Structure 1
Amino acid sequence: MNPADWIDTAGVPPRPLPATVAAALAYLAEALGHAVYAHWTLARVKRRYGSLAEAKAAQPAVLKLLLAHDAAVEYWERGRLRTVPADEAPSPETVLTRLLHTHRRRFRPAASSGKEAAAPTAVEPAGLVAANPWLVTQSPAEHAWLTRAGRFAQPHAATNTLGAADDAQALILFLRDRAGRSPHTVRAYGTELRRLMRWCGARQLGPLSDLTRQQLLAYRHTLQHGQRGTDAAPPPVGHLSEATRTRALAVVASLYRYWYDTGYLHANPAAGLSAGSRARAGFAPTRLIPPALLATCDAWLDAWEPDAANMLTAQRRRAIWALYRYAGVRLAELAWSADTGLPRLEAEAPGRWTLYVCGKGRKARAIPLPTPCVAVLRAYRCARGLPADPPVHEALPVIHGHKGEALQSAGLYREVKAIFAAVADGLQAREPAQALLLRAASPHWLRHAYARTLVVDHQVPLPAAQALLGHASVQTTAAYARTDLSQLRAFVEQTFTGPLRNEDCAFENRKRNGL
């Protein structure tokens, strides 16, 4: 391969890679912020470090291999730096090819980059649906159902500022403008819109721009009361929690309001369909893990002794647990995003680390990490072959994946659930209720525990806790205080059973003296 045929699209301006493989690997090491390929011999070690003592402190794995082999190679693969004898290592060309494939969103062949640059910016109507996987229907009939305009649509009117010709195009533009800042919001919106589409399909209604107010009120009634089905035909809408019902109606109301405000609809049949933000004011977290049970999970991880082959896996699992436990992040906030370069670790001073994440609405948030979390992360980084402390502006996934560069949301979820399941197995015989609670828990329960520790246990000021948790409203943060009655009980006890006030003492004295 010729590295010069590849373009670094993140450069300003975009630039081709150096022409030789060695120079291209050096460029990637600087661009990605970590070593990617190094060939070591004893002679090179001495030139680099001056003495074997310094080399042993800086490169213990390399020096150990050089004592038994003529040469050793360090190379980057699947999120970690591997060290092997030179005769077992892949070639520099292979390492370069793998890295370019892993970072294919950034490094692209010059030919394809030119084609993409010459491509028209306008999206054809047929391509709008394909651009959003959740809208790809499974049959021609469903596709035809979606690409229509109903009685309230005005696709060709001068007031239609969207310029959409049917519901499919109008849905894409809605998701782009209202939810496009976060893929997780797009997925959540897609789930609720798909629920409405299934309900319409079961009643042979639609398209969406054809639904009347009475039909949308009937959909709300179905959400609130559920709908029975059969084994052959499960119900499009089953029994839902209050939070899910509120979210479903809010998404539908937002869609129709957006269509009406932009002129795609000449009427809004969903006006007043949702209760708006009142449900959030009544938010009360209920999925809480008792502190003693969390301590049991911590103790299990500390006592876990895997074999040497699974040591890196164990260190990764401990790091995942520590970040959810001591940073209170949402599940997706630990998933690496090449677009934002987050999450990212920074070490401002020894032992003073900060985790930077991208929260809801693509808002960046800084979370100071406590000492127990830093110690676990340092051990995990060393196991990956990285420096113990993250260097400045390190562009590297915090959690690596065994099959790719980074572990995404599904893998992070499985790791935390595996910890809960292992601890639950140990508690099953003597404390079955606690084991059942752990089996139902998810990573978001650790976020609730983090918030409760801040607000209830340590009475952190609500604005500070709100900033750490990334809540849009301080009312959400304050809700954690309402879940604990111990403080209120202490205030009541102190008020009514404390020392008598002065006027009470005077009254008792007069009563005692017969006055």
Structure 2
Amino acid sequence: MKPADWIDTAAVPPRALPATVDAALAYLAEALGHAVYAHWTLARVKRHYGSLAEAKAAQPAVLKLLLAHDGAVEYWERGRLRTVPADEAPSPETVLTRLLHTHRRRFRSAASSGKEAAVPAAAKTTGPVAANPWLVTQGPAEHAWLARAGRFAQPHATANTLGVADDAQALALFLRDRAGRSPHTLRAYGAELRRLMRWCGARQLGPLSDLTRQQLLAYRHALQHDEGRTAGARPPRSEATRTRALAVVASLYRYWYDTGYLHANPAAGLSAGSRARAGFAPTRLIPPALLVACDAWLDAPESDAANTLAAQRRRAIWALYRYAGARLAELAWSAETALPRLEAEAPGRWTLYVCGKGRKARTIPLPTPCVTVLRAYRLGRGLPAEPPAHEALPVIHGHKGEALQSAGLYREVKAIFAAVADGLQAREPAQALLLRAASPHWLRHAYARTLVVDHQVPLPAAQALLGHASVQTTAAYAKTDLTQLRAFVDATFTDDGL
């Protein structure tokens, strides 16, 4: 490969990589903010560090290999810096190729860019459907099912301000306008719409603009009574989730009716909507004793030294959800926003930056127990103990890719709950059952309750840490325990207070 044929599109202005492999690797190390390839010998170590004592302190893994081999190589792969004997390392060209593929959104081949520009515009998919990531992921059967207009649609009427002719295009515009600001909202809306589509498919109904009020009421009845689980509809289990499912459907039809795509709204009054949100009360809480049990299980010594990094990664994931109160998807790496990321304002004073709902960035100070775990994990990955300024690396690496995404993060937390539940099964089966039902979002509830109830953090401060749009949502955590209110009453109406 020719490094000079690759363009760094993030540079201003975009620039080509240096002509040689070594120079291109050095450029990538500076651009990405971490080491990517280094070939070490004893002579180079002495020249670089001045003494073997300094080298041992700075590069213990490298020096250990050099005692038994002529050379050692550090190279970046799948989110971590690996150190191997020189005769077992991939070539510099291979490492460069892998890095360019991993960061293919940033580094583009000049040849492929030219080919892309040469594609005729007519050959490309256009319109709101092609621009919507959720609709693009649907299969051919779903696209064919949506690409129609039902009895309530008026695709060619002058009142149709959307200017589209079928449900697929109208749905794409709804998702753009109602959920386009946040990938989390888009994913949630997509899940509920897919649920409705599966229910319709099992009953040979559709398209969406053809559903009558009676059919939508039947769908509501199915959700409320958990019907159709075996028919592919997968009804939600909790009352709050069922209410949200209906709210998404009602919002879709209201949007279509208001914009003139439908000449009637068959979903009017289908959902209580805002009343459910006003009555929000967190119930999925993990008792503090069980959180301590999970902490103890993670702190137990690892018997298999080969899995040390995997254990450190699991502790880091747990610490971030436990001590930062982040939502599940907020810890999944996004190359577009370069979030989440860690920053150290001073030794031991770390901050986590995440992208929350509505694509709003949020800063979360991390407590010392969390920083200690993250520091050990970073050292295990071959990174500096303290994150340097403007580091653009995934906080949690993946074993098969550069970063662990939402599904992998979810599995790791569930594995912790399952392992601790196994240890509690014999003596405390009820607590074991509770842990098996828990998810990462339960840790967010526990974090919020610790702030609001246990430590009486002012609601505006807790709201900022949690990223709630409304302070009423934050205040709802105070409803889960009467201890604080009882203490206020006792202090008010004692003999001294009367």
TM-score by length of 2: 0.93
Instruction: Verify the 8 A CA contact 1:146 1:207 in the aligned structure 2.
Output: yes
2:12 is the counterpart of 1:12? yes
| One of 288, 293, 297 as aligned partner of 2:294 | 297
Structure having the higher Rg: 1
Instruction: Verify the 8 A CA contact 1:227 1:235 in the aligned structure 2.
Output: no
In 2, Cα distance between equivalents of 1:304 and 1:163:
63
In 2, Cα distance between equivalents of 1:131 and 1:328:
28
Partner of 1:65: 65
Q: Partner amino acid for 1:74?
A: E
Change beyond 3 A, Cα 1:399–1:48: same
In 2, Cα distance between equivalents of 1:408 and 1:235:
26
In 1, Cα distance between equivalents of 2:213 and 2:280:
28
Q: Partner amino acid for 1:216?
A: L
Aligned ranges 1:149-188 → 2 under 5 Å = 149-188=149-188
Instruction: Verify the 8 A CA contact 2:332 2:406 in the aligned structure 1.
Output: yes
2:351 is the counterpart of 1:354? yes
1:269 deviates by 3.0
In 2, Cα distance between equivalents of 1:235 and 1:411:
24
Partner of 1:430: 427
Change beyond 3 A, Cα 1:66–1:313: same
Over residues 237-273 of structure 1, what are the superposed CA-to-partner deviations in whole Å (9 max), with x where a residue is unaligned?
A: 6474211221111111221222233332233333333
1:381 deviates by 0.5
Gaps of 5+ in 2: none
Partner of 2:92: 92
Q: Partner amino acid for 2:395?
A: V
SS of residue matched to 2:82:
strand
Over residues 104-132 of structure 1, what are the superposed CA-to-partner deviations in whole Å (9 max), with x where a residue is unaligned?
A: 22222222223444554984469749964
2:52 is the counterpart of 1:52? yes
Change beyond 3 A, Cα 1:297–1:131: closer
Partner of 2:278: 281
In 1, Cα distance between equivalents of 2:112 and 2:322:
43
TM-score by length of 1: 0.90
Q: Partner amino acid for 1:379?
A: A
Change beyond 3 A, Cα 1:397–1:129: closer
**Bigger CA drift: 474-483 or 272-281?**
272-281
Instruction: Verify the 8 A CA contact 1:306 1:314 in the aligned structure 2.
Output: no
Aligned ranges 1:378-397 → 2 under 5 Å = 378-397=375-394
2:408 is the counterpart of 1:411? yes
Instruction: Verify the 8 A CA contact 2:199 2:231 in the aligned structure 1.
Output: no
SS of residue matched to 2:231:
coil
Partner of 1:217: 217
2:205 is the counterpart of 1:205? yes
Instruction: Verify the 8 A CA contact 2:135 2:172 in the aligned structure 1.
Output: no
Instruction: Verify the 8 A CA contact 2:71 2:86 in the aligned structure 1.
Output: yes
Change beyond 3 A, Cα 1:270–1:410: same
Change beyond 3 A, Cα 1:235–1:99: closer
Q: Partner amino acid for 1:136?
A: Q
Change beyond 3 A, Cα 1:68–1:402: same
SS of residue matched to 1:396:
coil
1:183 deviates by 3.0
In 2, Cα distance between equivalents of 1:124 and 1:359:
29
1:480 deviates by 0.8
SS of residue matched to 2:435:
helix
1:214 deviates by 4.0
**Bigger CA drift: 60-69 or 209-218?**
209-218
Instruction: Verify the 8 A CA contact 1:421 1:439 in the aligned structure 2.
Output: yes
1:133 deviates by 5.3
1:195 deviates by 2.3
1:492 deviates by 3.7
SS of residue matched to 1:296:
helix
1:410 deviates by 1.2
1:41 deviates by 1.6
Partner of 2:21: 21
Change beyond 3 A, Cα 1:17–1:490: same
Over residues 14-70 of structure 1, what are the superposed CA-to-partner deviations in whole Å (9 max), with x where a residue is unaligned?
A: 222222111111111111110000111222222222222222222121122222222
Over residues 161-200 of structure 1, what are the superposed CA-to-partner deviations in whole Å (9 max), with x where a residue is unaligned?
A: 3232200111122222222333332222122112222333
Over residues 338-375 of structure 1, what are the superposed CA-to-partner deviations in whole Å (9 max), with x where a residue is unaligned?
A: 00000000000011000000111111100000011111
Change beyond 3 A, Cα 1:158–1:110: farther
Instruction: Verify the 8 A CA contact 2:129 2:169 in the aligned structure 1.
Output: no
1:316 deviates by 0.8
Partner of 2:458: 461
Q: Partner amino acid for 2:101?
A: H
In 1, Cα distance between equivalents of 2:323 and 2:61:
31
Change beyond 3 A, Cα 1:372–1:238: closer
In 2, Cα distance between equivalents of 1:155 and 1:348:
56
Instruction: Verify the 8 A CA contact 2:223 2:242 in the aligned structure 1.
Output: yes
In 2, Cα distance between equivalents of 1:135 and 1:71:
47
Q: Partner amino acid for 1:176?
A: R
Q: Partner amino acid for 1:75?
A: Y
Q: Partner amino acid for 1:388?
A: A
2:401 is the counterpart of 1:399? no
Change beyond 3 A, Cα 1:469–1:130: closer
In 1, Cα distance between equivalents of 2:28 and 2:195:
45
Instruction: Verify the 8 A CA contact 2:4 2:18 in the aligned structure 1.
Output: yes
Partner of 1:450: 447
1:80 deviates by 0.7
Q: Partner amino acid for 1:21?
A: V
1:227 deviates by 3.4
**Bigger CA drift: 469-478 or 147-156?**
147-156
In 1, Cα distance between equivalents of 2:99 and 2:4:
15
Change beyond 3 A, Cα 1:239–1:75: closer
1:134 deviates by 7.1
SS of residue matched to 2:34:
coil
In 2, Cα distance between equivalents of 1:134 and 1:191:
14
In 2, Cα distance between equivalents of 1:235 and 1:404:
32
In 2, Cα distance between equivalents of 1:501 and 1:18:
77
In 1, Cα distance between equivalents of 2:177 and 2:132:
18
2:487 is the counterpart of 1:490? yes
Change beyond 3 A, Cα 1:12–1:264: farther
In 2, Cα distance between equivalents of 1:116 and 1:181:
28
Change beyond 3 A, Cα 1:199–1:413: closer
> Cα RMSD (Å) of the superposition?
2.4
**Bigger CA drift: 447-456 or 182-191?**
182-191
Partner of 2:138: 136
Change beyond 3 A, Cα 1:257–1:470: same
Aligned ranges 1:184-263 → 2 under 5 Å = 184-227=184-227, 234=231, 236=233, 238=235, 240-263=237-260
| One of 261, 272, 290 as aligned partner of 1:264 | 261
SS of residue matched to 2:84:
strand
Over the matched positions of the two proteins, sequence identity in percent amounts to 85
SS of residue matched to 1:76:
strand
Number of equivalenced pairs? 496
In 2, Cα distance between equivalents of 1:364 and 1:398:
16
Instruction: Verify the 8 A CA contact 1:284 1:479 in the aligned structure 2.
Output: yes
Gaps of 5+ in 1: 503-515
In 2, Cα distance between equivalents of 1:500 and 1:52:
71
In 2, Cα distance between equivalents of 1:403 and 1:166:
40
| One of 332, 336, 354 as aligned partner of 2:333 | 336
